[in-house]
Chains A and B, each alone.
Chain A
Amino acid sequence: MTTSLIVTGRPRRRAASPLTTRPDRFFLWACLAPALLAVIALQLYPLLNASVLSFREWSLTESTDPGGFVGWANYAQVLSDPVFWGAARTSLVITVCGVALQLLLGTGLAALLRKGRALHRTARAVLMLPMVIAPVAAANIWRLMFNSRSGSVNTTLSAIGITGPEWLADPFWSVVAIIIVDTWQWTPFVMLVISSAMLSIPQELVEAASVDGAGRWRTFRSVELPMLTGAFALVVTFRALDSLLQLDTVYTLTQGGPGYSSYTLTYYLYALGLRNFEISASAAGSWLFMIIVTVIIVMMFRLDKASREATS
């Protein structure tokens, strides 16, 4: 088994055979052209534009067009803003706690539902539902759940004698609330990926281990877990990136509040650019954020390559 972003079974021959003729190559480039143009116009151009903007002075409240170049001033402005650093810390907390929780729960669920029985299949289909709905809708649902009078969370807690907190009005619990919503929505994703990785483990290996007298848990730990490393690495990077970058939950659930306590990096940059219209400062902040994310993406590729080499 290989775990890979790129290859689905090695092509048996080089894809372009010597039979490829000149008109064929023209046809292929013509196929590629529309997508290539779209990507240049809709991705590369705005990104380059953002990098230029980050060195200019532009606040949309003062002028409708960008002003002169100011060097690194925008970067200095963002880096000296305590809200930026607070948001970076909150983002880190949400991502680390959320992904760890999702990994534990998702793997547990995948192990629980690995058999192909009707109950397991139905459970998998139902558990998938949170991840298909819009994150803004998920956040709205949880605003109902966290409602301190009629919401299920606090009424359940009070049934067992605990007075629940004012979830969304409390600086600490509002961050916990974001982690809970993220976990509810995305644990199913971890479950899906891990369970399909489990399905691809050759059953003979598992049987051989149990013939050799290994118990259920020991088989899982020594035989199956090592074969899941690649899938784990992948799911962690996917989840970590999506969790770092998502705006919807924070926007709908807490609006960054109370105060700045649940500002995440994405929410900070959104508020800076599209609410305060500090276009150039937001562009500079985005590039700082981009560096962090690029490092994670490069790491993902390294891991992917390493696990492919280890298993092939």
Chain B
Amino acid sequence: MRKRITAALMGLLIMVVVLVWILPFFELISASFKSPADFFSASFLPEHPTLANFDEIFADPKTGIMLRNSLIVVTITTIVSVLLGTLSGYALARLGLSPWVIGGVVFVLLFFRFYPRIAMVIPFFVMMRDWGLFDTPLAVVLGHLSITIPFATWLMLIAFRGLPAEIDEAGAIDGASMPRRFLHLTLPMATSSMATAAVLTAVLSWNEFLIAQSLTRSSNPVLSTGVASFITDAGVKYGSMAALSLVICIPIVVFALVMQRHYVAGMTMGAVKG
């Protein structure tokens, strides 16, 4: 009996925590249907629900440009990173480098994940200006690739090191060349890790702000920089800010829920491996 009550209370506690934690999402949805007057009253739900905020953002041609640019950036970044990361992860795992060298490589790869991006952004900005790529989606792609290629390499290096070498050796004894063994024996065992790398790369690229903000002007933005641009001297347009924020959130939330297994595997990677 006592056990049952404890369990019920725990269940209740969990539900309360979850509700509090996702309340901000409800506020976002509610706010995107509010009319300007509703932002002066203390009601949680819109008193005069309206679609005007969505009409307004989609009437602006910039929203279309942002969506298009973001989709281009995410697609190219993800494909190129997973491709190059898989190849280089495989090479690093199979070159037979000493543990010291591997340790050094991993240190450098993690360093590229964590050092102050702002240090790279300024020369990058100058470089893109000189190459004539400033204010194009391609500049943002190159900026994102500088982070995601080392990151995908790290993930795939871990994945390939975890695979047993026996199958590969058996293939070699049977006379299969290394490229064939890579394609037909090793790669099929690594598809799940490739999916993980793809999911993490796509989420990062869709959400990234500093690089996108530094390499584009307000005329040719991606979604994340557009969403951040609602701070004006004339005050905040809360309604359209909420509507556009919803537009950037919905695809990535759906994507992450569908790809939950891969996303969680990637985020907890390196933390726990038995």
Contacts and interface: CB of A to CB of B under 8 A. Distances in A.
Contacts of A184: 21, 24
Given A32-B91, A134-B209, 7 more contacts: A1-B272, A16-B96, A35-B150, A49-B127, A155-B42, A196-B268, A196-B272
A136 B122 contact: no
Interface residues on chain A, size class: 35 or more
Interface string B114-157: 11111111111111000000000000001101100110010000
- 7 pairs of A and B residues whose beta carbons are closest in the complex: A16-B96, A286-B119, A35-B88, A42-B146, A134-B207, A8-B162, A49-B123
Interface stretch (A82-90, A94-102, A287-295): A287-295
A300 B253 CA distance: 31
A231 B158 contact: no
B189 interface: no
B96 A149 contact: no
Interface of B: 10-11, 13-15, 17-18, 21-25, 27-28, 31, 34, 38-44, 84-85, 87-88, 90-96, 102-103, 106-107, 110-112, 114-127, 142-143, 145-146, 149-150, 153, 158-159, 161-162, 164-166, 168-169, 172-173, 177-179, 182, 203, 206-207, 209-210, 213-214, 223-225, 227-228, 230-231, 236, 238, 241-242, 245, 248-249, 252-253, 255-257, 260, 263-264, 267-268, 270-274
Interface secondary structure of B, over-half rule: helix
A198 B90 CA distance: 30
A136 B88 contact: no
A193 B268 contact: yes
B165 A149 contact: no
A295 to B, nearest CB: 12
A257 to B, nearest CB: 10
A43 B112 contact: yes
Contact of B214 (A25, A35, A109, A274): A274
Given A132-B253, A147-B238, A155-B42, A141 B112 contact: no
B24 A35 contact: no
A112 B182 CA distance: 43
Contacts of B209: 134-136, 247-248, 251
Interface string A122-134: 0101111111111
A266 B118 contact: yes
A15 B90 CA distance: 10
B267 A189 contact: yes
26 contacts: A5-B270, A11-B161, A11-B164, A11-B165, A14-B96, A16-B95, A16-B96, A28-B90, A28-B94, A32-B87, A32-B92, A42-B143, A42-B149, A45-B127, A109-B17, A130-B24, A144-B242, A149-B39, A150-B40, A192-B264, A199-B272, A234-B271, A255-B231, A265-B116, A294-B115, A297-B114
Contact of B227 (A112, A134, A155, A196): A134
Contacts, number: 341
A139 B229 CA distance: 12
Contacts of A130: 21, 24
B91, B248, B272: residue with the most chain A Cβ atoms closer than 10 Å: B272
B88 A137 contact: no
A42 B142 contact: yes
Given A128-B264, A134-B252, A144 B238 contact: yes
Contacts of B207: 132-137
A12, A25, A129: residue with the most chain B Cβ atoms closer than 10 Å: A129
Interface in A186-203: 189, 192-193, 196-197, 199-200
Contact of B106 (A5, A21, A196, A251): A5
A50 B227 contact: no
Contacts of B249: 133-134, 137
B274 A196 contact: no
A290 B161 contact: no
